[in-house]
Each structure stands twice: as structure tokens, then as C-alpha cells.
Amino acid sequence: MSTLEEIRGGLNRFLGSVAEGWHHLANRASGALTRFKPSKKKDKDGLLVPVHKGVGWGLLAAELYDDGDSVIVRLEAPGMERKDFDVSVVDDMLLIYGEKRYQEQRKQGGYHISECAYGVFERAIPLPDNVDGRRAKAKYSRGVLHIELPKTTSGRHQVDIKSD
């Protein structure tokens, strides 16, 4: 085998390894990556224009755990207010809608890096068990949305098996 073929084979193995690692990372993070659609308002001519152009994707990391009686969800969403969220349970999904608004705080100068995401977002989190959405409780404190969803047996029915 020539040196060029050895280099080509090594490069192909390296690129395959990088592609496999990237694919694995993308699969693991796909639930947390959230698309932010820029908020829009009308300009002086009545046309809708984005309020702030920022990064279109953001990371809303979540934890979901079962304490036996309830399913607990924690969603990290810093820089928001309680009124910015709309939370609902549909079938076996927890749906979280929100809007992260841009706040102008600088007086002069320009950005060199802007990695913050702003705008409307939606996050769907699959629930591992049946929950009673009517009895759910949510609170938002210090950048974390905490949702407690009591479990229910409705939707699950035990079927008795009779013999002939």
C-alpha cells in the first residue's frame, strides 16, 4: 500500500469518527435545542419586522424525574418572567410555549458576540406516565421553570380475564 493510500484511509477513518461523534451529540441534544422565532412588530409603514435579530437556536435544558406520585419537570429558561410562559398537557406531552424578549440595556457601542436567543419558542417534552394536567402546579424562580404533574390512573384500565 502506498503512503498516499495510507493517508487517504486514515483521513477517511478520522472523518467517519468525527461524523459519528457529531451525529451522537446531535441525537442527545436534539430535545434541548429549541428554535426561537424572532418577535415581530410593525414598522412605521405597517410592515412586520423582527424586533431583534439574534441566534435562532438556543438551549433550554430540562430535567424530568418521577418521585413516585408525580412527574417533575425542571426547565432552565433564564431571563424571562412568569407571564412569558404558557404550559399545557396534551395527551402524553408537556408543551411549553414562551417568548424571551430582547431588552436593550447598552447605551453605546456594538456587539462583537451575540449568542443569546430571543423570540417565541415551543418545547415539547414526552411524559413517561399518565398525569392529571388539571392538578399540575408550576412556578418560575431564578431562571428555572418547575412543573409538578400528579400521576393519574385514568387512561389505564385493568382488564379482568375470565375463564370459560
pLDDT of residue 74: 94
How much is the CA Rg of the chain, to the nearest whole Å? 23
Cell of 53: 435579530
Q: What is the pLDDT of residue 149?
A: 93
103-118-109 Cα angle (round to 5): 50
Residue 140, pLDDT score: 92
Please check the confidence at residue 121 and state whether its pLDDT lies above 70: yes
* Residue 142 to residue 68: CA distance in whole angstroms: 26
pLDDT in tens, 89-115: 988 889 898 887 766 666 666 666 665
What confidence score (pLDDT) does residue 57 get?
60
How high is the pLDDT of residue 15?
81
At 6-65, the pLDDT tens digits run: 888 878 888 888 788 777 666 665 565 666 666 666 667 766 555 555 556 666 788 999
Q: Is the pLDDT of residue 134 over 60?
A: yes
Q: What is d(CA 134, CA 17) in angstroms, rounded to the nearest whole number?
A: 47
CATH code for the structural domain at 33-150: 2.60.40.790
| Residue 147 contacts residue 94 (beta carbons within 8 Å) | yes
* Cα gap 7→4, rounded to integer Å: 5
pTM metric for this prediction: 0.61
135-163 CB burial, b ≥16 within 10 A, e <16: ebeeebeeeebebbbebeeeeeeeeeeee
Q: Around Cβ 70, how many Cβ atoms within 10 Å?
A: 19
- Predicted confidence (pLDDT) at residue 135 exceeds the cutoff of 60: yes
Of 62-76, 99-113, 130-144, which gets the smallest average pLDDT? 99-113
